[in-house]
Amino acid sequence: MEERQQTGNHRMQIINRRQGIITGVIDVVSFDLNEIILETNMGMMEIKGKELHVKRLSLDKGEIEIEGETDSFIYSDLKKYKKSKESLMGRLFK
């Protein structure tokens, strides 16, 4: 599997908590109506809200455009996220 690394700045522009553009995006880990999880060049980013939609995605440019009511943005270390995700999966299949 090819590893994509984005160079440049990580930037987030949010307009009235309803629309946003985020740059420095490496991958979209998961998304649903209440949560979007992104891997960015600054670590993992978790976006929580209501009726969230990915309006436009360009991994080549490292950009994502979202819409919906955003409640929070949480950053975490990539290593911590992967460890917690593995332990969760391990617990589910025991």
Would you write out the chain's pLDDT as a tens digit for each of its 94 residues? Answer: 445 554 568 999 999 999 999 999 999 999 999 999 999 999 999 999 999 999 999 999 999 999 999 999 999 986 665 555 554 445 445 4
Q: Is 47 exposed, middle or buried (0-12, 13-18, 19+ CB in 10 A)?
A: buried
Q: What domains does the chain contain, in order, with CATH numbers?
A: 11-92 (2.60.40.2000)
Q: Where are the alpha helices (DSSP H) in 1-94?
A: 78-92
